[in-house]
Structure 1
Amino acid sequence: MSLRNGGHVRWAFDLSGWRPTLTDLLLATSCIQPEEKQRLAKFVFRDDFNASIIGRLMMRRFVQLATGLQYDRIQFGRDVKGKPYLKNEGFMVDFNVSHQGRYAVLAGMLTSGDESLELAAMPKIGVDVMKIEYAGGKPLTEFFRLMNRNFSDEEWRYIRSRNHESEQIEAFMRNWCLKESYVKNVGVGITVDLRNISFTIKSNILSRNNVICDSTLKVNDEFMRNWRFEESLIDENHCVAVALENVPPHVDLSQNCFEILDYSELMEGNIPLLANDVSYCETVASKDYKKVK
């Protein structure tokens, strides 16, 4: 667990293998801010609670590692678009979290030592993870018809050009993952016309041990020159994409495969912010996990 070239980290946490005990919950919920704790209490299912608290803990561990800030002095806020950011002044970092399928992921980086840069020129990061499957019940052709407005004509040509249904599903999820990483970076959410966000995928095969960096983006038919994208697999069933804006072209992103953390690594160096809340954790522990279809 360390910073890579250019001050980057790429972390994944396997949620399917984490069934926290009451002791685990007491520690985890004492290591997040009060407003985060209140937000997490609203989740109906344990799966969503677990994924979200792991995301918060990954953010805190990353900032601690990247800045040297004392664990319990780290303060997060949310901007007007709801994206978390580090409130502590004088530290140049950016990070983003996502979860889907069995993984929660974080992509983070040191942004710049030059505080004179305008905000629009600062490096920024977004991440998304997708499980590569289709379980919608409808024929795939009907599903694609219903999703037609979410992809550009060029993207649909790429998706439908794949020879087998499994390849088309992978191409669909890969394009969706790229779009999500981009909109999470800019903070707009999936509320814009996604047909105007169009990716060109040049390498057909993703890998767990190699990062593809050659996909390109057009927005409203304009080539986005200051954007770079990483794509890889966490495992054979989960693809992940990282969107980076204003990262210098000389920074090598090709080795940024995702490192899988366990709970003990994630909690290393923790200092609780809050007192143990047995009642809160017992309520969380009483919630059901989602039934697997």
Structure 2
Amino acid sequence: MVDEEKQHGSGGRWRWLVDVTRWRPSPSQFQAAADLLPPHDRAAIARFVREDDRKRALVSRLLQYSLVRHALGIPLHQIRIHRTLEGKPYLQNKNATFPRFNFNTSHQGDYVGIASEPLCLVGLDIVCISKPQGETALEFINNFTSYLTDHEWNCIVCAGSPDEMLAEFYRYWCLKEAFVKATGAGVGFGMQRLEFRHTNWTNISLCIDGEEASKWRFWLFKLDELHLASIAKGHPEDAIESFRRTLSDVVVQEEELHTALEIPEEAFTLWAVEQFIQEYKICCLS
């Protein structure tokens, strides 16, 4: 579900992806890229101990600033991105064209991604289907039983081989993460309250505490043999309070929101890190 040629995105709705394994910076090149960001972002990146984690964190922040510039036309040096207490990134700049513009990022394994929406809440999650070390697939999945409903657990254990069970678990986990990230709640929401149902992983629906969440839509993508991504789109009324305060209170017609929810998903646009760095340098000189 990746397109290396077309740059999908319009009307505040964008889907970007970076394969971070293709970027192998020297220490000086890494530092030069980090220096393009505001001090608070550089400090956040430096907190990561592992080199791979620092690289993903850096690319995630470069993606955020670049996407906002493309989507809203705000000069890079004027963009103000902050986080709620729960860690949800949001744009502090107000925008008259897309007053409810919001975005979400995710990174795991080889990929870093970002998705944005002009009206709906949007959540993105990327997972790497890695085989557990020192335990079987079933033992690994057993660690997460408190986050799964009985229906989801039965679907996982009946999926087939250990590899198939693992992939099935990650599909459910990816969707749950995308939803809680879209609302701004994070894992504190209570994953066991969410139950996903589907038809061969299409027509995906969600029940929260047993009630259908009719104002939400979900998509699941296979990025490659080891990576999955999910997109969650929903009604702004479901944002938690701390995140809702960051959104404009401009009234949006229900018909308009419904139309936005039903827009089908397309492929992610694949970017190279060097493109972002070059863009930053050009913007800084102009």
TM-score, with length taken from structure 1 = 0.80
SS in 1 for 2:279: coil
SS in 2 for 1:267: helix
Residue 14, structure 1, aligned to residue 11, structure 2: no
Amino acid of the residue matched to residue 264 of structure 2? Answer: S
CA deviations on 1:84-135 (whole Å, 9 max, x unpaired) are: 1111122532111111111111111223xxxxxxxxxxx2111110012322
**In the superposition, relative to structure 1, how do residues 4 and 38 fare at CA in structure 2: closer, same or farther (>3 Å)?**
closer
CA deviations on 1:209-264 (whole Å, 9 max, x unpaired) are: xxx5x211111111101111121011121000011113534655434222221123
Report how far residue 190 of structure 1 moved: 1.4
Counterpart of 1:102 (choices 85, 107, 110) is 110
Report how far residue 58 of structure 1 moved: 0.4
**Mean Cα deviation higher: 55-64 or 194-203:** 194-203
Residue 63, structure 1, aligned to residue 60, structure 2: no
Please name the residue that 1:190 is paired with. 187
Distance in 2 separating the partners of 1:159 and 1:241: 18
Please name the residue that 2:129 is paired with. 132
CA deviations on 1:250-287 (whole Å, 9 max, x unpaired) are: 6554342222211232235315999xxxxxxxxxxxxx
Would the aligned equivalents of 1:8 and 1:108 in 2 still touch at CA under 8 Å?
yes
Report how far residue 62 of structure 1 moved: 0.5
Would the aligned equivalents of 1:10 and 1:107 in 2 still touch at CA under 8 Å?
yes
Distance in 1 separating the partners of 2:189 and 2:37: 32
**In the superposition, relative to structure 1, how do residues 84 and 161 fare at CA in structure 2: closer, same or farther (>3 Å)?**
same
Please name the residue that 1:277 is paired with. none
CA deviations on 1:38-94 (whole Å, 9 max, x unpaired) are: 111111111111000100000001000001111111111122322111111225321
Counterpart of 1:234 (choices 223, 237, 240) is 223
Would the aligned equivalents of 1:3 and 1:66 in 2 still touch at CA under 8 Å?
no
Structure 1 stretches of 4+ with a deviation exceeding 6 A read none
Distance in 2 separating the partners of 1:144 and 1:29: 37
Query: Structure 1: which 5+ residue stretches go unaligned?
Result: 112-122, 205-211, 275-293
Distance in 1 separating the partners of 2:88 and 2:282: 23
**Mean Cα deviation higher: 259-268 or 167-176:** 259-268
**In the superposition, relative to structure 1, how do residues 67 and 158 fare at CA in structure 2: closer, same or farther (>3 Å)?**
same
Distance in 1 separating the partners of 2:147 and 2:180: 13
SS in 2 for 1:225: coil
Please name the residue that 2:210 is paired with. 221
Distance in 2 separating the partners of 1:41 and 1:133: 26
SS in 2 for 1:201: strand
Would the aligned equivalents of 1:32 and 1:273 in 2 still touch at CA under 8 Å?
no
Would the aligned equivalents of 1:5 and 1:252 in 2 still touch at CA under 8 Å?
no
Distance in 1 separating the partners of 2:12 and 2:190: 33
Would the aligned equivalents of 1:31 and 1:272 in 2 still touch at CA under 8 Å?
no
Would the aligned equivalents of 2:220 and 2:228 in 1 still touch at CA under 8 Å?
yes
Would the aligned equivalents of 2:132 and 2:140 in 1 still touch at CA under 8 Å?
no
SS in 2 for 1:215: strand
Counterpart of 1:42 (choices 27, 47, 55) is 47
Would the aligned equivalents of 1:30 and 1:273 in 2 still touch at CA under 8 Å?
no
Distance in 1 separating the partners of 2:282 and 2:58: 14
SS in 2 for 1:244: strand
Would the aligned equivalents of 2:219 and 2:265 in 1 still touch at CA under 8 Å?
no
SS in 2 for 1:256: coil
Counterpart of 1:264 (choices 236, 251, 274) is 274
Amino acid of the residue matched to residue 264 of structure 1? Answer: E
Please name the residue that 2:78 is paired with. 73
SS in 1 for 2:77: helix
Query: Structure 2: which 5+ residue stretches go unaligned?
Result: 1-5, 236-256
**In the superposition, relative to structure 1, how do residues 271 and 109 fare at CA in structure 2: closer, same or farther (>3 Å)?**
farther
Distance in 2 separating the partners of 1:99 and 1:60: 16
Report how far residue 143 of structure 1 moved: 2.5
**In the superposition, relative to structure 1, how do residues 221 and 74 fare at CA in structure 2: closer, same or farther (>3 Å)?**
same
Amino acid of the residue matched to residue 268 of structure 2? Answer: F
Q: How many residues align?
A: 255
Please name the residue that 1:291 is paired with. none
